Each structure stands twice: as structure tokens, then as C-alpha cells.
Amino acid sequence: MKIYKNIPLKKYNTFGLNYTAECLIHIKTEKEASSLFNGSADWKKPLLILGSGSNILFIDDFKGTILYHELEGIKIEEQKQNKESVIISAGAGVIWDKLVEWTVENGYSGLENLSLIPGTVGASPVQNIGAYGTEVKDFIEKVKTIRISDGTVRIFQNSECKFGYRNSIFKKEEKGHYLVTRVYYKLIKKPLLNLAYGSLKEEVSRLGSESLKNVRQAVINIRRNKLPDPQIIGNAGSFFKNPVVSRSMADTLKKEYILMPLFEDQSGLTKLAAGWLIDQCGWKGKRIGDAGVHDKQALVLINYGKATGKEIYELSQAIQKSVNEKFGVELEREVEVIGTI
């Protein structure tokens, strides 16, 4: 375990914001995590668990302890000859896309549509990450955690995780109470591809046959073309969630805005495209100082270099206000704001 004081956070968040943390603790094993939380170590509250910081907006220096973990290792847990599925597990600190790459190389299907999403394995159940018609919840078997109040281990089965759209028990009632240490995924041993979303099928056929590898490559190509690379320009992907509204509200909006894209969900509600709403309010490509809205995807806010977290936050407020005024729709932030507003 390593403990650092007054550490700059620039490389710990994909917006590249240069705040500091009063204390940062690096751990590499579950044992270190347990001993940190079972009362034998002294650390200053509040605690923030950090993966790659790709869904975080710091708006201030962090006056507490940041826990950064490198819990490694990908394992096959259970593989029976006569079974169509395989259970694998990965340490919470494994880079998400390294895990996806590994599953595709081993011919296990399920996660390929989630290629190139930044971040760590540990955040995948917290966020219930999703892209191209796939959500990780459909492949999570269970989640191993350590309780922060006493250092004990608790396993959450899939049904206990209360997964929702970019949501889980770890973001709601148990927020900040558990460190995810290992995630178990149930994958399929033969390719079972999901090409229903957008231009995915087209891109796969441009690459050749419908194989796991081509689906992964197609997702990578589409994402690289559409989304800014945080290594080059600071961002945290989609800043807002797609709003979910009642069918009657969606029908009213559609009468007025005939081109508005709508997506029915299974519960009878309708999802609107937040990026489209923001674009219609004229925000795409706009820049205020060094905070801006991406010119290819209005859902992505960017830091051109010297923006502060507060400036990005204020831009997000201005966007919320104009979407509300034009459409009567509330945009909820997907990115977690850390600091006092």
C-alpha cells in the first residue's frame, strides 16, 4: 500500500483537470483493501474510489482520501465441456477494454459491443456500462466487494445489484459503501452476435464475415470516428443520460418535432436522444473559453486544455436550461460531479 499527500489529479481523470487530492492511497491486493477498512489503518473521510476517472468531473480540490486500486488478473472460473457458457472473472483494476479484447481472442461472446469503453472492470457494474444495444448487466454473474465500514467481503448476485440504465445499487442506496474487487461474467462459448444497433451491421459487413473479431473492430472503428480520444482531448464521454419520458409526452413532442428520434423501452416508456435535443438547441461545436461541446457528438463536453471543472459544470447547466426551455425535458448528468457546487 502506498499513501501520497497533496497529489495532483490531472492523470487520474479523463477531463485532464488539475485539482489536487489531500490524500491518495494506492492498493494492489484485496488483502490491502481489507486491512485498510478493518480499522487498522487511519485515513481521512470522505473516501472516493477511483477507477480511470472517465465518468468523473472534479470541480474542486478533493479534501479527503482517494482510493486508487490496481486489482489485476483475468481468470476462467468455470468451463464445462457440455455447457454453452463459461464463467470468467477479472480484477476490478483491469482496464475494461483489455478484458473485452481477451474475451474476443478466446472466442467468448457477450462483451464485444462494449469494446473501447474507457475505464476499469470495477466500474462496469457500478455504471452498468452500455453501448451499441448491449448492457453489461446481461453478462454479470456476480460482483465481489469489500465493505468499507469493516473490511468484510460481500458477494452481490446479479439480481441484488438492482441494475438500471447506467445505474446500480452501487450508485444508489449502497453508494460509497463497497469497493468492488472482482467481477464475474457469464459469457457464451459460440458467437451470438448483436448487430441490431445503428450502423454496426453495415460496418461489420464492410470488414468481412460476421465474426466476434469483426464486431469488435467495427465498434472500435465507429467509436474512433465519432468520439474524441481522452488522451488527446479531455472529456468523459456522454455527459448526460438519454432522458426517459412517458409515451404521451413523447407523442406530443413528436407532433411538434417530427424528426425527433424516439426509442421505445420494454417498460412502455420512451427514451429520447439527449445528443439530438442538445444539437437542436444550437450547442454542437460551441465553445466558451476552454470548455466546449464536441462538434461530432453534442452529448460530449470537452476540455480544450485550460477549462476548470466549474466552467465545464456551468456549461452543462446552460445546456440543461436551454433543453428544458425548448422541449420541457430535464437532462440528467451521467457524469458524476465531485466537489461542492
- What is the set of active-site residues? 166, 238, 334
Q: Would you say 55 or 103 has its CB closer to ligand FAD? A: 55
Pairwise CA distance, residues 46 & 207, whole Å = 49
Minimum gap (Å) between residue 235 Cβ and ligand FAD:
5
What are the cell numbers at 110?
Answer: 457477450
Chain residues binding ligand FAD by CB under 6 A are 14, 48-56, 92, 117-120, 122-124, 126-127, 129-131, 170, 179-180, 227, 230, 235-237, 336
Residue in the structure block whose three cell numbers are 457458457: 85
The residue at minimum Cβ distance from ligand FAD is 51
Pairwise CA distance, residues 91 & 119, whole Å = 13
Minimum gap (Å) between residue 20 Cβ and ligand FAD:
17
Minimum gap (Å) between residue 84 Cβ and ligand FAD:
27
Neighbours of 78 (CB within 10 A): 13
Neighbours of 328 (CB within 10 A): 11
For residue 305, give the nearest of 236, 254, 233, 241 by alpha carbon.
233
Q: Would you say 110 or 122 has its CB closer to ligand FAD? A: 122
Query: How many Cα neighbours within 13 Å face the side chain of 124?
Result: 39
What are the cell numbers at 207?
Answer: 470488414
Minimum gap (Å) between residue 52 Cβ and ligand FAD:
3
Q: Would you say 22 or 189 has its CB closer to ligand FAD? A: 22
Pairwise CA distance, residues 70 & 67, whole Å = 10
